[in-house]
Homo-oligomer: A and B are copies of this chain.
Amino acid sequence: MIEDRHIILAHGNGGRFMRELISEVFARHLANPGLDVDLDAAPVAIDGDGTPFLSTDGFIVQPLEFPGGDIGSLAVNGTVNDLAVCGARPHYLTLNAFIEEGMEVEQLDRIVASLATAARTAGVHVVAGDTKVLPRGQGGGLYLATTGVGVRPRGLELGMHKIRTGDAIVVSGPVGDHGVCVLLAREEFEISGDVKSDCASVLPLARAALRFGGLRFMRDPTRGGLATVACEVARHAGFELRLFEKTIPVRDSVRMVCEMLGYDPYYLACEGRIVAIIAADEAQALVADWGRTQSGEGAAIIGKVRKRGNKVVLETELAGERILEELEDDPLPRIC
A interface residue numbers (CB < 8 A to B): 9-10, 12-17, 19, 38-46, 48, 51-60, 82-83, 85-86, 88, 92, 94-98, 127-135, 137-140, 143, 145, 147-150, 152, 160, 219-220, 222-224, 228, 231-232, 236, 326-331, 333-334
| Contact A327–B13 (Cβ < 8 Å) | yes
Of the candidates B55, B98, B160, the one whose C-beta lies within 8 Å of that of A60 is B98
Once the chains are docked, how many angstroms separate the CA of A15 from the CA of B55?
20
| Contact A40–B134 (Cβ < 8 Å) | no
Q: Secondary structure of the A side of the interface? A: mixed
User: Which chain B residues border A140 with CB–CB below 8 Å?
Assistant: 134-135, 138-139
A38-B328 contact, Cβ under 8 Å, with A54-B94, A143-B98, A145-B130: no
Of the candidates B147, B160, B228, the one whose C-beta lies within 8 Å of that of A15 is B228
Of the candidates B17, B40, B328, the one whose C-beta lies within 8 Å of that of A16 is B328
| Contact B86–A41 (Cβ < 8 Å) | yes
**Minimum Cβ distance to chain B for residue A98 (Å):** 6
Nearest-neighbor residue (CB-CB) of A82 within chain B: B40
Of the candidates B131, B149, B326, the one whose C-beta lies within 8 Å of that of A149 is B149
Nearest-neighbor residue (CB-CB) of A41 within chain B: B55
Pull 17 A–B residue pairs with CB atoms less than 8 Å apart, ordered by A.
Answer: A13-B331, A14-B224, A15-B228, A40-B219, A40-B220, A44-B54, A46-B46, A54-B149, A55-B128, A58-B96, A58-B97, A58-B145, A60-B98, A60-B132, A60-B134, A134-B140, A135-B333
User: Which chain B residues border A48 with CB–CB below 8 Å?
Assistant: 46, 48
Stoichiometry, copies per complex: 2
| Contact A56–B129 (Cβ < 8 Å) | yes
Once the chains are docked, how many angstroms separate the CA of A130 from the CA of B14?
26
| Contact B10–A41 (Cβ < 8 Å) | no
Knowing that A58-B132, A134-B143 touch, tell me 6 more A-B residue pairs with CB under 8 angstroms.
Answer: A13-B224, A16-B326, A42-B55, A43-B51, A44-B53, A54-B92
**Minimum Cβ distance to chain B for residue A134 (Å):** 6
**Minimum Cβ distance to chain B for residue A173 (Å):** 19
A41-B96 contact, Cβ under 8 Å, with A134-B140, A138-B139: no
User: Which chain B residues border A82 with CB–CB below 8 Å?
Assistant: 40-41
Once the chains are docked, how many angstroms separate the CA of A220 from the CA of B39?
12
User: Which chain B residues border A57 with CB–CB below 8 Å?
Assistant: 96, 130
| Contact B17–A328 (Cβ < 8 Å) | yes
Once the chains are docked, how many angstroms separate the CA of A6 from the CA of B9?
30
Nearest-neighbor residue (CB-CB) of A61 within chain B: B132
User: Which chain B residues border A14 with CB–CB below 8 Å?
Assistant: 222-224, 228, 327
A96-B145 contact, Cβ under 8 Å, with A42-B54, A57-B130: yes
**Minimum Cβ distance to chain B for residue A172 (Å):** 16
A13-B130 contact, Cβ under 8 Å, with A52-B43, A88-B41: no
